[in-house]
Structure 1
Amino acid sequence: MVSEHLFKLCQATETVSSVLAKNPTDSPGDVVKRLYGHHKRDFHYTPEKDRPALSALELEKAFRCGRWGPSQPSPLFLQAFADSLNCLDADPMSGVVSPPLMGSHGTVPLTVIAPLADIIRHCSNLIVRAEREVFFITCSWSPSVAQRLIKDALIELSRRAGERGQRVVVKMMYDKASAANAIDAHQVEKPATYTGKTIQLPKPEEIPNLDLEVISFHKLVLGTLHAKFCVVDRKVAAVMSNNMEDNDNMEMMTHVEGPIVDSIYDTALITWNNRLNPPLPSHDAPATEGGLPTSSQEPLYMDRGPAREQHEIAADGQAVRLPEHMPDDPHYDSNLEGEITRMQSCYSMKPHESRLQAANRQLNLVCKNPIPPSGPDIPEGQEMTPYITSMTPAPVPMALVSRPPYRPRQHAQRRSVFIQTPDLNAAPLIPALTAALKRGIDVTYYVCFGYNDAGEIIPGQGGTNDQAAQGLVKDLSPTECQLLHIYYYVGKDQDHPIHQSFKQRSCHIKLLIVDDHVGIQGSGNQDTQSWYHSQELNIMLDSEEVCRKWREGIEGNQNTRRFGGAAEDGIWRDKNGNPGEGYMGDPGKVEGLLKGISGMMKKVKDKGGF
């Protein structure tokens, strides 16, 4: 239930961003202390305790805690929203957003389900189309195709700003642990550091028309900045699952517009914490009023056209031949429609190439260990379509359910739960899934085979995906097992899961869909680190139409459903009954610790450590 304390927090007229609108030279951290510092913080609060479903009066109270505009949240969405609000009883800042902005509304004109570089291609286009400001926050940052795309975009943004006779304010933030973080978790980086070999952002002379400020953040020891998002001109925002590096991951991004952008902007300010030097031009131009006045001709928010079906996008992409947007060979588009056509053109067949070979080509593009396709050919109409139009005729209810993350209570849904995540082993989640299955709820989850086994197998981290699956199955009756569907990620061009240690086909998507209409997407994994230590940003929405698009994209851009089903014991096995290559088994605590330490040392060495 929503307490009177929570209700007052959500009904307050001031937020971090509204106070900074009046005093843009203040630091967000100081504003947080003034607004919420007097509230007692409870570090032993346990939101996992069971709570009954809300009554009609309590649902109405939860409804009044959000700013839903013309949208109408469902009871399931409001129950989940109320559950996430309850985390604020322990600390008003536990949602990393001012409480009045936690519940909002907006649209999702684009969803990307694709390799990491394809998501950053969209971010680079957003950056070059910016006119006044860019706020970009991520976790891991390393020299890569993604990094070079962002670097090129900043240089191009500076060039365009110079032609307009303007300056653009750019704030960038990433997680980088160092000894200095013990004194101050937010470290302002000097140009010599952020232009050096480990970061490689542009030098000041390369971006003369940008006011670039960079912060590295890490709260020692385990307090990781794991959120990944950007806000441009306070008009659009992108919520991502990916880091800035080269890898073989399939990722997911949600591009949102409308009032929800103000909520994400508020989170960006709170995360930044320090005084903004210079202040952001949009400090007094909220998204609810259109964001910063710009000269862009691209229609935004409710002026966008209707969503297109994926088969239409595939046909349009096959009809043209457009050069791929690459580092050192950029091809920026003036609007979202142009981006979609260009991206699909790259996934379309070239002469003497099948659809399967086209998908394999793109999935191998930045893969360190390219592999040939092993899956069946892809028929017409089932092409891989990384850019998905998910625009709705009206705004939909949205809420930020950031870290401490939303713990799905699993007592409100009526039909089904779908999850895709790299790892699924968080201690509070496994019993919740068990309880849902015992109530007759259909549960499907996709995980990555062997994802970060070296880290997850260390005692206290929850165990590997294989271990978690076996533990879950053991607690179920045969009837309940029929409701549980465990799958291991299979790439669109493959016919079997590939262990993540081979770095060939992995999946890093973080998605939850309940009863086909409430969806949560963002940076939060379903593992111990994300649940208890990392700062995350997740967006929850209430839309059957968007969730349908998300699920179609999930199924259409991978072969997990077709080839990744686990055996009765929760382990994926080949046609001969053998686990996939790389399977670690179920070692005891001592062996698990030794394997974990050995694996983590190898991981550090591979990244240039020691």
Structure 2
Amino acid sequence: MTETTGGEMTCFWAPSATLKELISTLKQLSSDKLAANSTEKIKVYICFSSRSALQKLFHTSSPDGYVYPPDTWTEKLGLPPPTEFPGLELVVKSLFFRPFSVLHSKYLIIDRQKVFLPSCNVSWEEWYECAIGIEGPIVQHVFDFWREVWKPAELIDLSFEKPEDPKSTLDGPIDQHIDQLSGQALRTTLLPHPHDSSLRQALWLLPKQVQATPAATPLNKTLLHLITNAKTEVIILTPNLTSQQAFTAVCLALINGVGVRMITNRRMMVPEQLATAGTLTEQVIDRLIKEYRRGFSGRKLRKQLAELKASAMLPDVKVAENEQLGSLRISYFRQPSSATSAQARAGTAETGLGIASHAAKSHIKLTIVDRKAIVLGSGNMDRASWRTSQELGVLIEDQDEGGRSTGAVARLWRDVERGLEGCLESYFDS
């Protein structure tokens, strides 16, 4: 059975230039479908988790979520009525689980043939973002993940061929997708992270002996495995850093002599950080520097290291504890000047890459290890992403079927790094 479908998943939905572009695109898609004289409509699913604090407060806790009636689209969502999309069959649905379990994942599925994993939401913020497009059997796994979570009634009984899942030590389906630059297939692993609405995960105010440890999800396990088993270098670009497990893993990498480069933000989503973690990124960064300067000898940190090594998420962690710590570089993203923005855009004209002229924060979620593996997706290095939010990431390894390097990971980092030119404030450099 074949059909034409499209689905967009976003965490946040708000009136914005992005929404206007989305509406324009949907209208064009509808017109193209009518111009083709097709009797079938294109099924389009818009799925989001949050549009306001009030919406989350009164949102149904049912896993079936809430489907917005078409007569409410304009008032509540800023969408035109369905009469303006005659070539589309449009469904709009939201899911949220109190107190803090947003569905933070962001992805776009097109005809079950392509998937795009952006870092951005349908929102007004002008942040530095990125997206990666993937094709191949892994697209079906993303579709299965979406169908299981969002439960679109029209698709429950559809039959289709599913690829066999190769076994993975990281508990995620492994497939390959084609690197468009090299023309080679890359080893790719889908990293889902289900939401958890339990109070033991959500409330940081609970005594530590009552709090649950973060779930050993494919995304959590993979990030810890990569960071703590790095050989030479770890690069982390994250909007926020409040996860204790991520912090401890970075400390362990530095103890093992691995160089760490961290890029994050100041004063980003402060109320959310305080509500979900009881601390701020700046405080965690200052603690990391303090621990680094005293050689990670603090009793509290040593206890946290022992707990991390004993956890189910790190069954194979290696601790070399080199005499010399790895180098540590920490930078904060800052809004570029107009002159810097123009220079960066001019310098990247050939590739079409560049920074937003008014980007106030970096919203990219990226971890690179040894220039051989990269994790991209929706997950931050904060407490919410590691414990309560639903996330979706992808691990891309820089090797083809024969185990040869393609240089794809290095190219991806060069592209992102080029856009950071003129936007970084060095805060600490060992």
Shared fold per TM-score greater than 0.5: yes
Aligned with 1:527 (options 365, 375, 382): 382
Q: Secondary structure at the match of 2:147?
A: helix
Instruction: Letter of the 1:167 partner, please give it.
Output: K
Q: 2: distance between equivalents of 1:455 and 1:536?
A: 17
Residue equivalent to 1:436: 253
* 1:206 CA displacement: 0.8
* 2:224 partner SS: coil
Residue 187 (1) aligns with residue 66 (2): yes
Greater Rg over alpha carbons, structure: 1
For residues 221-232 of structure 1, the aligned pairs below 5 Å read 221-232=99-110
- Could you tell me how far 1:402 is from its partner in structure 2? 2.1
- With over 3 angstroms needed to count, the CA separation of the structure-2 counterparts of 1:568 and 1:268, relative to structure 1, is same
Task: Report the CA distance between 1:261 and its aligned residue.
Answer: 1.0
1:275 partnered with 2:153: yes
Which runs of 5 or more residues in structure 2 are unaligned? Answer: 51-55, 165-176, 194-216, 296-323, 341-357, 399-405
| Alpha-carbon shift at residue 269 of structure 1 (Å) | 0.8
Q: Could you tell me which amino acid in structure 1 is paired with residue 68 of structure 2?
A: E
Q: Distance in 2 between matches of 1:266 and 1:134?
A: 14
The DSSP-based 3-state class of the residue aligned with 1:534 is coil
TM-score when normalising by structure 2: 0.71
Q: CA RMSD in A?
A: 2.8
Structure 1 pair 506/241, CA: closer, same or farther in 2 (3 Å)? same
Tell me, yes or no, if structure 1 residue 255 matches structure 2 residue 127: no
- The code of the aligned residue for 2:67 comes to V
Confirm whether residue 151 of structure 1 aligns to residue 151 of structure 2. no
| Secondary structure in 1 matching 2:76 | coil
* 1:67 aligned residue: none
CA contact (8 A) 1:462 1:468 kept: no
Q: Does 1:400 align with 2:198?
A: no
SS of the residue corresponding to residue 192 of structure 2 reads coil
After TM superposition, the structure 1 = structure 2 runs for residues 560-579 of structure 1, keeping only pairs within 5 Å, are: 563-567=424-428
Q: Deviations over 1:361-396 (max 9, x none)?
A: xxxxxxxxxxxxxxxxxxxxxxxxxxxxx5332110
Pairwise CA distance, 1:139: 0.8
Tell me the CA shift for residue 248 of structure 1: 1.9
Structure 1 519/462 Cα, relative in aligned 2: closer, same or farther at 3 Å? Answer: farther
SS at match of 1:174: strand
Q: 1:482 to 1:539 in 2, by over 3 A?
A: closer
Question: Which digits, 9 at most, give the CA deviation of each residue in 1:99-134, with x for residues without a partner?
Answer: xxxxxxxxxxxxxxxxxxxxxxxxxxxxxxxx8210
Q: 2:288 — aligned with what?
A: 472
User: Under a length normalisation based on structure 1, what TM-score does the superposition of the two structures give?
Assistant: 0.51
Contact 1:185–1:218 (Cα < 8 Å) also in 2: no
Equivalent position of 1:284 in the other structure = 160
Find the residue that maps to 2:146 and give its secondary structure.
Answer: helix
- One-letter amino acid matched to 2:160: D
Using the alignment, how far apart are the partners of 2:272 and 2:375 within structure 1?
25
What is the match of residue 170 of structure 1? 44
Deviations 1:321-352 (A, max 9, x none): xxxxxxxxxxxxxxxxxxxxxxxxxxxxxxxx
Please say if residues 473 and 481 of structure 1, whose CA atoms lie closer than 8 Å, have aligned partners that are also in contact: no
SS in 1 for 2:108: strand
Residue 138 of structure 1: aligned partner: 10
- Partner AA of 2:394 in structure 1: I
Judge conservation of contact 1:138–1:243 (CA < 8 Å) in 2.
yes
Query: Residue in 2 aligned with 1:338?
Result: none
Tell whether the 8 Å contact from 1:251 to 1:508 is kept in structure 2 after alignment: yes
Shift of 1:170: 1.1
Q: Give the superposition deviation at 1:568.
A: 6.3
**Aligned position for 2:299:** none
Distance in 2 separating the partners of 1:487 and 1:258: 36
Q: Distance in 2 between matches of 1:226 and 1:434?
A: 27
Give the distance between the partners of 1:190 and 1:279, measured in 2 at CA.
23
| Secondary structure class of the residue paired with 2:18 | helix
Distance 1:178-1:196 versus aligned 2 partners, 3 A rule = farther
- 8 Å contact from structure 2 (residues 67, 93) kept in 1: yes
Q: Does 1:418 align with 2:235?
A: yes
Q: State the one-letter code of the partner of 1:393.
A: G
Q: Aligned partners of 2:57, 2:282: CA distance in 1, in Å?
A: 34
For 1:284 and 1:133, locate their aligned partners in 2 and report how far apart those are by CA, in whole Å.
14
> How has the CA–CA distance of structure 1 residues 552 and 213 changed in structure 2, closer, same or farther, with 3 Å as cutoff?
same
- Shift in Å at residue 547 of structure 1? 1.2
1:449 aligns with 2:270: no
The alpha-carbon distance between structure 1 residues 198 and 180, as it changes in their structure 2 partners (threshold 3 A), is: closer
Q: How many residues get paired?
A: 332
State whether residues 329 and 429 of structure 2, in contact with CA within 8 Å, keep that contact through their aligned partners in structure 1.
Answer: no
The answer for unaligned runs of 5 or more in structure 1 is 1-20, 25-130, 289-300, 308-389, 497-502, 570-610
CA distance in 2, matches of 1:224, 1:453: 17
Counterpart residue identity of residue 191, structure 1: P
* Displacement after TM superposition at 1:456 (Å): 2.1
Aligned sequence identity (%): 23
CA distance in 2, matches of 1:244, 1:287: 32
| 1:8-60 Cα shifts (integer Å, max 9, x gaps) | xxxxxxxxxxxxx8xx9xxxxxxxxxxxxxxxxxxxxxxxxxxxxxxxxxxxx
* SS of equivalent residue, structure 2 residue 79: coil
- Rounded to whole Å, the distance in 2 between the matches of 1:402 and 1:286 is 18
Paired residue secondary structure (2:71): helix
Question: Per-residue CA shift, 1:547-577, capped at 9, x if unaligned?
Answer: 11221112211236x74211469xxxxxxxx
In 1, Cα distance between the equivalents of 2:365 and 2:96?
22
